[in-house]
Amino acid sequence: MTRNRLLIVDDETDMRNGLQRLLSREFPGLQVVTLPDAEQAISYCEKETIDLALLDIKMPGMNGLDLLKYLLGKDPWLTAVMMTGYGSIETAVEAIKLGAYDFITKPFEKEVIFRTLSKAIERNRLLRENSTLKQQICEKPQSLGFTGQSPAFLRFRDNLEAVARTNYTVLVRGESGTGKELTARAIHQLSDRRAQPLIMVNCPAIPEQLLESELFGYVRGAFTNANQDQEGLFSAANGGTLCLDEIGDLPFAIQSKLLRVLQEREIKPLGSTRTIKVDVRIIALTNLNLEKMIADRLFREDLFYRLNAVTLVTPSLAEMIDDIPLLVAQLTKKVCAELDLPLKRFDQWALTALMSRAWPGNVRELENVVRRAVIFSPKDLISVSDIHFIENPPKFSLDPTSGEDFMHSGTFEAYKDAKDRIVDDFTCNYVAALLKKTGGNVSQGAKLSGISRVALQKIMKRRHISGAEYR
């Protein structure tokens, strides 16, 4: 177990030694280091890391406040407690404003410093754990193939991490090409089941007459040519995760059997009279409207509610427009590696073009466009002319030989400002034309554009566009 390291800085020798004996005895898990002045403390912290600091405010040379600023600048998560005399309360309050956790006044009672330091140790533990968790949330999805910084992506990333920590059945919904299978793999990889099997099943790819035996297994003699017992996918995934892709295409007859597995946590192989207990987490994927399928009696309502214990919705590319440059960079690197080509990149005009079009196929469609551009571009720098094959190019000029559209107040506009302005203009014009076409009907506009209704409403809200203006 890692010991917390406490640094005590005080110019009084008796105070330092007394605190070291007192605190080492009261907190056995604490490593106490004492130093006489701020200069030596800075030299020590250049080589070593500390978790907590107990600093005297009034010292010769650099005072405790300046030392506090240095330490917090080096480590914002540091928990620092200041020591001061009765006449320096105002200074202690200033230390709190600078970022100190608390202060104690000299001379102090043992109980006071014990109580203050106990709280400081607990605060340090919580801050460090929170920092580690945030780093894991950021890094793990990235290492599993996720890329993004947009609000929609960050919300999705946080939800994915939260879901992965549970053992619930998960229903992953989203448009085609938004990474539902990647999401399932990430949930498994970030879960406590990561060391156990993850088995992916494409439900419509297996003929209905074989699907039951594939999922649940069979015993010898269950049907013609069943010459020996055969383990099913549920048994093979025992202890791990079973991902059912395209769950909406699961035959109605199999749905009832799956419902029993979810309810009883047991399977019955085909032809067997006995049941087998299984410990399998189910992740179901779909881009279909299951609610409509229930109304049309194509999907069991009770199964839907079993699968829908926890739902994750993968964001569409329309909700992650600002992430397109990051996605393009990642996809370009991947494609160049696959083709054993020197790394290529898209210029700003090509990126702007990609950011200003609809993506009904989402990231999968974007990947196809990147792949074709990398293959057909003879240059290392991919330009607008290299993506001429995209079906709906931007409706504004992207002629790099003319900079007039990017001149403001006699100076050339910054790339980020130009990109934001162009994308915003495109979005406003697109939504206005869309609502004009549908007479202000947002639901119809969402269907026509390939954007989810919620995403379209968010876009309208951000741009202060009302559907009522077009009715």
In this predicted model, what pLDDT tens digit does every residue of 351-364 receive, in sequence order?
888 887 888 889 99
- Evaluate whether residue 140 is within a structural domain: no
Please say which residue of 347, 376, 402 terminates a domain: 402
Same domain, 161 and 305: yes
Same domain, 108 and 251: no
From residue 201, alpha-carbon distances to 237, 280, 418 in Å are 11, 14, 46
C-beta contacts of 370-375 below 8 A and 24+ residues apart? 370/328, 370/331, 370/332, 370/335, 371/331, 371/335, 373/346, 374/332, 374/335, 374/336, 374/339, 374/341, 374/344, 375/339
Please say which residue of 105, 131, 157 terminates a domain: 131
Lateral strand order in the sheet of 4-9: 30-35, 4-9, 52-56, 79-85, 102-106
Same domain, 386 and 428: no
The predicted pLDDT at position 77 comes to: 76
* pLDDT band at residue 420 under the 50/70/90 scheme: low
**Over residues 20-36, mean pLDDT:** 91
CB 422 within 8 A of CB 398: no
**Over residues 269-287, mean pLDDT:** 90
- Evaluate whether residue 385 is within a structural domain: yes
Distance CA 349, CA 184 (A): 35
Same domain, 183 and 224: yes
Distance CA 244, CA 319 (A): 26
Same domain, 212 and 237: yes
Same domain, 178 and 232: yes
Identify the weakest region by mean pLDDT among 187-191, 216-220, 374-378: 216-220
Same domain, 325 and 302: no
Q: Which residue has the higher pLDDT, 141 or 416?
A: 416
Q: Which residue has the higher pLDDT, 353 or 136?
A: 353
Same domain, 281 and 369: no
**Over residues 203-217, mean pLDDT:** 84
Give the chain's end-to-end CA distance (angstroms, integer).
Answer: 67
pLDDT at 417 over 70: no
Q: What is the pTM of this model?
A: 0.55
Same domain, 309 and 332: no
For residue range 228-276, what is the model confidence (pLDDT) as tens digits?
888 889 999 999 999 999 999 998 888 988 998 998 899 888 888 888 8
CATH number of the domain that residue 55 is part of:
3.40.50.2300
CATH number of the domain that residue 355 is part of:
1.10.8.60
Same domain, 161 and 250: yes
The predicted pLDDT at position 402 comes to: 45
Distance CA 68, CA 64 (A): 6
Cis bond before residue 197 (omega within 30° of 0): no
- Evaluate whether residue 152 is within a structural domain: yes
- Evaluate whether residue 351 is within a structural domain: yes
Q: Measured on CA atoms in the order 261, 264, 265, 267, is the torsion positive or negative? A: negative
CATH number of the domain that residue 160 is part of:
3.40.50.300
Same domain, 152 and 276: yes
For residue range 32-81, what is the model confidence (pLDDT) as tens digits?
999 999 999 999 998 888 989 999 988 888 988 999 988 988 887 788 99
Bridge-partner residues for 198, per DSSP?
Answer: 241
Please say which residue of 402, 431, 452 terminates a domain: 402
**What is residue 245's three-state secondary structure?**
strand
Classify residue 426 as left (phi > 0), alpha (psi -120 to 50) or beta. Answer: alpha
- Evaluate whether residue 254 is within a structural domain: yes
Same domain, 297 and 197: yes
- Evaluate whether residue 136 is within a structural domain: no
CB 143 within 8 A of CB 282: no
Radius of gyration of the chain (CA): 31
- Evaluate whether residue 421 is within a structural domain: yes
- Evaluate whether residue 139 is within a structural domain: no
Domain that holds residue 428: 416-471
Distance CA 202, CA 285 (A): 10
Our count of domains for the chain comes to 4
